[in-house]
Amino acid sequence: MSAVAQKAVSKFLEFIDADIAAYAESCVHCGECAEACHFYLATKDPKYTPTYKLFPLVKAYKRHKAPLSGLKKMLGLVPAEVTEDELREWEPLVYDACTMCGRCTLVCPMGIDIAGTIRKMREGFVAAGIVPEGLSVAAANAERTGSPMGVTLKALSAQIVRQEKETGIKIEIDKKGADYMAILSSMEIMGYPEIIGAYAKLFKQAGVSWTISSEAFEATNVGVQIGDGKMAKMLVQRIVDAAEKLKVKHVISPECGHAYGALRWAGPNMVGKEFSFKVVHIIELLDQLRREGRIPAGEKDGRRMTLHDPCQLIRRGGLLQEPRTLLDDSCSDFIEMEGAGIANLCCGGGGGVSANERARELQMAAFAQKLKQINDLGDIDAVVVPCANCRTVFEDGLDEFEVDLEVVGLGELVAETLASK
Amino acid sequence: MMLHRLIAAIFFIALMLVSVTTINAQSVRPPGNAVNQSTDEQIGTSNTLGPDSQSKYWHDLRQGKSGLSTTGRSGGLLIQAQGEQWRLIRKNYIIKYSGWVLAAVLVILVLFFLIRGKIRLKGGRSGQTISRFSLPHRTAHWFMASIFIMLGLSGLILLLGRTALAPLIGKNVYSIFASAAMQGHNLFGPLFIVALVWMYYLFVPGNFFKMVDLKWILKGGGLIGGHASAGHYNFGEKVWFWAVAIVGLLISITGIILEFPWLSANLQLLQISTIVHAIGAVGLIAFALGHIYIGTIGMEGALDSMTTGDVDVNWAKEHHDLWYEEVTGEKSATHDQGETGHAQVYSQDKITGV
Amino acid sequence: MSFLQIVEGPLFYIAAAIFLIGAIWRVIGIIKIGHKRDLAPPKGSGKVGFVAGNLRHFLPRKIFAKRTWVHIIAGYSFHFGLFALLLFAAPHIDFARDRILGFDWPALPRWGFIIAAQFAFAGLIMLWVRRFSDPVMRLISDWDDHIGSWLTFLVMLTGCLALQESHNALKAIHMLFVDVWLIYFPFSRLMHAGTFFLSRGYTGATYGRKGMTL
């Protein structure tokens, strides 16, 4: 076995816990997962069958780690070693053709978490140095600046100043002892800075004391997307340090899918200790403030809207009801698409796919599936997308297919439809 | 289209049920002369080898001069004379000829393969494919094929085993085979009906005869008289479809009668059923041998349509040119040019919409 | 000792022992690999999630059922048919009473057996047929899948061929396949019957801790 393959296999084996072992043992190769995967639906190419993407990892498990594999090895009944060629063949399947959206788990009769296993599998590919170029660039940026797009503090400050002017509300940076510390995704800072103004407006009305750290303002965790545990930990640590330094009680995860899972669910496990603060998602927080009557709803938006469910927030994050309650208050003509909620289709650009230039064609094909799902609703004025990454994927895709459809963030919509004091 | 097929399938099932029940209704007879004891002639064990000739004995029985009998489903009949005819027909015609028919088909296929060889694609494989059978079509086909093979094997053991197998393996061993074959045949029989209805429903569109089929016949399916044009199904395939549908229906009806003999009180019906069942089944098996031959070793590229469901573009042009044109909306250059039909004339870039 | 006595006597007990020890070994082996403790504060109960995950995946979701109905029908038809045959066929109950358990329970009537067998066969044949005619299943299937399907098929078939219960040879052939099946089971994908609850449960537990409704 080549040194490269060896590195990958060792990482695979390191990450195979009882969960993944049970998954590898239980898959009966029924192929139903293909019917849940937007990449398969878009191309009808069998190689995009989700369980097929796991084959190298399963091979390594069956050869080295499965119970009774020793006995089977003696009889020559274990699969061959994973080769470097195989890893190179599988690399596009693991990086370009999986957004780790987890829809396949829903259809799987064995309930196998393929998305979570792909995430662990990518660790092996990173260890072997077999990763797509686009993602390496994002990773290098993140290493340097903490942000995949290379967003600097200077850029953020400029956006904050602009939002302060627009809203007339002062936004305090590095305020010690604030209750909440907000972090943002690069996409929001560069593309949708209005969200900063929306935060200011909402929190002012609710009387929430909040701040943004100058040392850790980036929420996107490229480490998690690419499957680089070391970097993922470094990026989480940065947030933990800043939150501890400012002694905040909560960190607000922004409208960004992977960022939430990375910090809320994987974060404490990565840094190896429980956080001294709570992680709340902005949607969770807004829902709570609404229920407490601190941000009462005003006049509703009359446009016909639907909601895109970002996979990492809804299917894999559990925030199923909150965005819907908020939307019911903010929008008078809100309709759901087929499979809305837990079984909604992914936008096609999550899990680092949108940062991966090579995957563009495939990503667009997957987005076409999403678009079809929306078109099936008939006339829609706007789609609410509470994830900055999904949002850029939507805007890019709508542009590509020349579709006239407005894409709005949930936070902004809630801020816009706030009852005036 | 959907509705049309659904109605067709329901009609098919209804026909099957109606025919079984009406046959049964007619067959219920009162136990007539159950208690009558004939006095004018003595027949019984003492008389079977007596002075009366065998023919007179059978003749009397046919005239209804029954002797001692029991009351029961078979109308109080102890001996049914037609049983002997049935036995002779079965032995002297069905068993005898069905073995020869199947052997002859096999010989013809082997000879055909030796002389004609595998029918190759004239233009070779293009590497491009078009979709011929959907996954439901393939699933239904192989489901039917599996059931058919099991029923065919067990049925042939039951029909021919005593003549062909027993002398080879001995009666004791054969009795094991026979017992197993009977159980297996009865078990898989009802599944054949499920498979038949499902297949009929899926495959009936496109299987109705058209004018082009007449031309196909005149050209001997392309074996004589040059290239024969065909749509999605050619004449041979249509005949095969209707043979399966109609003979399959007959086999199903007679099979139900035979599997549930207590439904019917008429022995003659059971006897006719075994004969129809056997003739039909042997015919279908003979046809199936040809079908399997042409689908596998007989023709290059044919099996693809039932494995992946996609056939090579050149295969489609050469064997189902009209269908190819219908699907792709372009000329295949093969049909009506007959003899020439060189695949080289198609340029690759013309294949659009594939 | 006759062939039948061997395959339903010593060979059966050896096969059954390999089956039991192997299967338990494998399930415990998986559990023993263990997990790291989850440090993220949970929103719900992992234990409840484990059970919920197990139950939820019995039911197909409507949105996928439109596409996967063949598998759902064939899968349930096969498994229900198989379990009905395994647990309620009269000869099986007699065998269990005489050789293993010492007590019995009501058996299926003969017509019930036939119907169950037909469901089991129809389902199994359908599932196997799809293995080579569906491009997705073709790609992901390996020899283990096919051997598992065929062995199970042969066990069922030989059992049904012996239905007349008049020939020891037929019963012996059935028992021989049963023995082979039992020995093959713990080393193969047939083990899914013993690991599915872990797979569903672990995912369910993760969902449960995240407070997700399945």
Residues C33-66 have pLDDT tens digits of 998 888 999 999 999 999 999 999 999 998 998 8
Q: Kindly list the partner chains of chain B, i.e. chains with 3 or more CB atom pairs below 8 Å.
A: C
Pairs across B and C, CB distance < 8 A: 68
A269·C36 Cβ contact <8 A: yes
To which residue do tokens 């490269």 refer?
A4
A29 — contact with chain C (CB < 8 Å)?
A: yes
Closest-CA distance of chain C to residue B172, Å:
10
Backbone torsions φ then ψ of B19, nearest 5 degrees: -65, -40
Region C156-182: what's the mean pLDDT? 93
For residue B35, pLDDT over 70 is answered with no
For residue B43, pLDDT over 60 is answered with no
Q: pLDDT tier at B73 (50, 70, 90 boundaries)?
A: low
The residue ranges of chain A whose pLDDT is under 50 are none
Q: Give the residue from chain C lying closest to B135, CA to CA.
A: C134
C164·B182 Cβ contact <8 A: yes
Nearest residue, CB atoms, C206 vs list A52, A113, A315: A113
Alpha-carbon distance of A216 to A212, in angstroms, equals 8
pLDDT in tens, C120-159: 999 999 999 999 999 999 999 999 999 999 999 999 999 9
Alpha-carbon distance of B262 to B276, in angstroms, equals 19
To which residue do tokens 């992901």 refer?
C140
Contacts of B142 in chain C (CB under 8 A): 129, 132-133
For residue B48, pLDDT over 70 is answered with no
Q: Give the residue from chain A lying closest to C60, CA to CA.
A: A107
Q: Give the residue from chain C lying closest to B179, CA to CA.
A: C164
Class of domain A297-416: alpha beta
Q: Which amino acid is at A170?
A: K
C122 or B225: which leads in pLDDT = C122
A154 — contact with chain C (CB < 8 Å)?
A: no
The dotted CATH code for A135-289 is: 3.40.50.1860
B306·C160 Cβ contact <8 A: no
Region B271-280: what's the mean pLDDT? 92
Query: What pTM, to 2 d.p., does this model score?
Result: 0.86
Residue B85 confidence (pLDDT): 84
pLDDT in tens, A289-317: 999 999 999 899 999 999 999 999 999 98
To which residue do tokens 């072992």 refer?
A21
Closest-CA distance of chain C to residue B134, Å:
9
Residue B12 confidence (pLDDT): 62
pLDDT in tens, B227-252: 777 888 888 889 999 999 999 999 99
To which residue do tokens 């499957």 refer?
A227
Region B260-269: what's the mean pLDDT? 81
Residue B352 confidence (pLDDT): 32
Q: Give the residue from chain A lying closest to C26, CA to CA.
A: A67
CATH 1.10.1060 fits A3-131, yes or no: yes
User: Are domains A3-131 and A297-416 of this chain identical in fold?
Assistant: no
Domain definitions of chain A by residue range? 3-131, 135-289, 297-416
Contacts of C24 in chain A (CB under 8 A): none
Q: Kindly list the partner chains of chain A, i.e. chains with 3 or more CB atom pairs below 8 Å.
A: C
C167·B190 Cβ contact <8 A: no
Region B175-185: what's the mean pLDDT? 93
Q: What part of C 70-99 touches A (C-beta under 8 Å)?
A: 71, 75
Q: Give the residue from chain C lying closest to B310, CA to CA.
A: C135
State both tokens at B239. Answer: 């005949």
Residue B203 confidence (pLDDT): 93
Nearest residue, CB atoms, C29 vs list A29, A67, A339: A67
State both tokens at C78. Answer: 């096969």
Backbone torsions φ then ψ of A61, nearest 5 degrees: -60, -45
Residue B318 confidence (pLDDT): 84
Contacts of A255 (CB under 8 A, 6+ apart): A185, A188, A195, A282, A283, A310, A386, A387, A388, A391, A409, A410, A411
Contacts of C132 in chain A (CB under 8 A): none
Q: Count other Cβ atoms within 10 Å, centred on residue A176.
A: 10
Q: What part of A 316-375 touches C (C-beta under 8 Å)?
A: 316-318, 320, 338-339, 342-343
Nearest residue, CB atoms, C140 vs list A29, A36, A68: A29
B139·C70 Cβ contact <8 A: yes
